[in-house]
Chains A and B, each alone.
Chain A
Amino acid sequence: MNKFIITVLTQDRPGIIAHVTRILFELGCNLENVNQMILQTQFAGLFLVEAPESMDKEHLRQTLTTRSEGRDLVIHVNTLEESHETGMDAHGDIFLITTIGPDRKGLVAGFSDILAAYRANIVNLKAVFKGGIDPRDNVMSYQVWVTPDMDTAAMFADLRKKADELGLDIRIQHKNIFDAINKI
């Protein structure tokens, strides 16, 4: 098993995924998972590939970089450790922690510090800050993996206290309620 995770960053435009996946195909890599997102004008892509046994990380990185000259791509390649534990192997639940309210510096750092202190893993984070008074324009939503051994009552209390300090409305709800309402 020879797996790599490739990160590609660049200005968003048509053809980025086609370019990267073409090279990977020609190198004999099997694409196992791709995730991409666009933040305002910037493209970020993650490509999980299984490469031929003979291929090493440096060769893969060099090939991708050389063949991408002039395209202004920032490319990183890392070896994927199969045995790495994410903290999500144990029993647990996903909660959505959503804050709505005025933008200011340090919001994400403030809340993620608390989550980290309780060893709660953030599995997804969306933060949109557009300013203004429309609450929809300043929303942070964390999907957090919560395991039974965590002191969730204390963690949720700390999060609520933090939100109170920052003048934010906070909602902490199990993911299933969003599934029930939205995934029909």
Chain B
Amino acid sequence: MFEDHEIISTIEMVKNEHLDVRAVTLGINLFDCISHDLDTFRHNIRKKITGHAGALKSVCDAVGDKYGIQVVNKRISISPIALVGAAFSADQMVEIAHELNEIATAVDIDFIGGFSALVEKGMATGDTALINALPRALAETQRVCASVNVATTKAGINMDAVLQMARAIKQAAELTADQDGLACAKLCVFANIPEDMPFMAGAYLGVGVADAVINVGVSGPGVVKRAIERNLENGPMTLGNIAEVIKRTACKVTRVGELIGREVARELDVRFGVVDLSLAPTPTVGDSIGEIFQALGLSHIGVPGSTAALAMLNDAVKKGGAFASSHVGGLSGAFIPVSEDLNIAQAAHQGFLSLEKLEAMTSVCSVGLDMVPVPGDITEECLAGMIADEMAIGMINAKTTATRIIPVPGKKAGDSVYFGGLLGEAKIMAVPHMADASLFVHHGGRIPAPIHSLKN
């Protein structure tokens, strides 16, 4: 029998602290669907994805009910379309995006990720077609997510791709101007993208992965925040002890995710892949990364001390998760998405969190400039510069970084944007020198890989 406090604390984690499984993602390999004929390719991918994913939602819901833990999102990741659809033109790529969107709707999942390309060392025909297709593909669909890896520590930064991605982002924003540039919320530009990743918007199924695999992404910032608060209510604690509390809490959260992920995998008769330990917020009070900073004693996320706090938080989450699961992957750490986290969005609006501080913090977190709305008249060069800066942090520090920036057409700093659902809302952040159109990003070519890339 469980002790009273064990029963109560478990129930409170679910009921009041927003413990849930952020996403169960079914990865599906599409390499055996390849064809030069578009209709055949579309037929093949529909048959394969619906075959594997037909029961995904109902199984996730049933397993969630059984454990009293909601699976918030049911998602699919697929092999990078730039690889499996390399034979097709940009217009045909757009048709593939439509097909994927229809499939996602048919199997009733939230997002399908993998409209992706890996171009850190250069672009092949399929990569170019996919990047050219991105603005329309994202604007004309609702559930398709895209990612493009433009840099790695081993290869350096593909600056041609950086500039092209800046253009694609601007175009995607313009095509969804009536929705505040919503298409850009489904597009991530990466450095050192993990070789297989279940977390949206950058999700895709890696090349060296099984034919079908269930991955699970856990969340739980509310649980971490309450654990810190509860322990501090009992008296002062050193940061070392607080890190221990976060670590233990992350361990519990991860075990919940793995339990549910493994059961979904068993029910669907596919392999279990990895747990992504990410601490991802929702735009709900009490489920915020920003509130963890306040629990740690910082007045707002963004004030001095925030980078150190985030470093501690990120590391403790990884350590706790690593103890709980032997199969960890994806991004695994703390996210700081601006619009998706009410507290972070407010700190940015109130001036406590600037774009520069956000960038500094991304050097110790798991992703990067995430869900950052910026003025719509930002230049392509400035946008490309922001992406290049973020890629450089990833490249030099041998870590994953990404940008998910939304230049909101017709709006300026301080204006409100609302993306809805988990994507949240925010005020547009000010970008210093955003009219800058310096030549730097126009040089093109590839920024060479750093010296430590020679290790092998």
Binding site for B on A (CB under 8 A): 96, 98, 100, 124, 126, 128, 135-136, 139, 141, 143, 169, 171-174, 176-178, 180-182, 184
Contact = CB atoms under 8 A, between A and B. Distances in A.
20 contacts: A126-B4, A126-B7, A128-B4, A141-B4, A141-B7, A173-B14, A173-B68, A174-B67, A174-B68, A176-B259, A177-B10, A177-B67, A177-B68, A178-B2, A180-B252, A180-B255, A180-B258, A181-B13, A182-B2, A184-B255
A169 B7 CA distance: 14
Given A176-B259, A184-B251, A139 B4 contact: yes
Contacts, number: 69
B238 to A, nearest CB: 23
B3 to A, nearest CB: 8
Nearest to A93: B66
A96 B2 contact: yes
A171 B14 CA distance: 10
Contact of B256 (A126, A136, A172, A180): A180
Contact of A136 (B8, B10, B248, B258): B8
Contacts of B4: 126, 128, 136, 139, 141
Contact of A181 (B1, B15, B66, B252): B252
Contacts of B109: none
Nearest to B5: A136
B64 to A, nearest CB: 11
Given A176-B67, A177-B67, A98 B255 contact: no
Nearest to A172: B68
B67 A181 contact: no
A128 B13 CA distance: 20
Given A171-B14, A177-B259, A180-B259, A139 B67 contact: no
B39 interface: no
A141 B8 CA distance: 10
A177 B11 contact: no
A67 B2 CA distance: 36
Contacts of B37: none
A100 B12 CA distance: 11
A184 B254 CA distance: 11
Given A96-B7, A180-B259, A141 B2 contact: yes
B252 A100 contact: no
A144 B438 CA distance: 69
Contacts of B11: 98, 100, 171
A184 B258 CA distance: 14
A91 B52 CA distance: 29
Give 7 closest A-B pairs by Cβ, nearest first. A173-B68, A180-B255, A182-B6, A177-B67, A180-B259, A124-B1, A181-B252
Given A139-B7, A178-B7, A126 B1 contact: yes
Contacts of B8: 100, 135-136, 139
Contact of A182 (B10, B15, B67, B259): B10
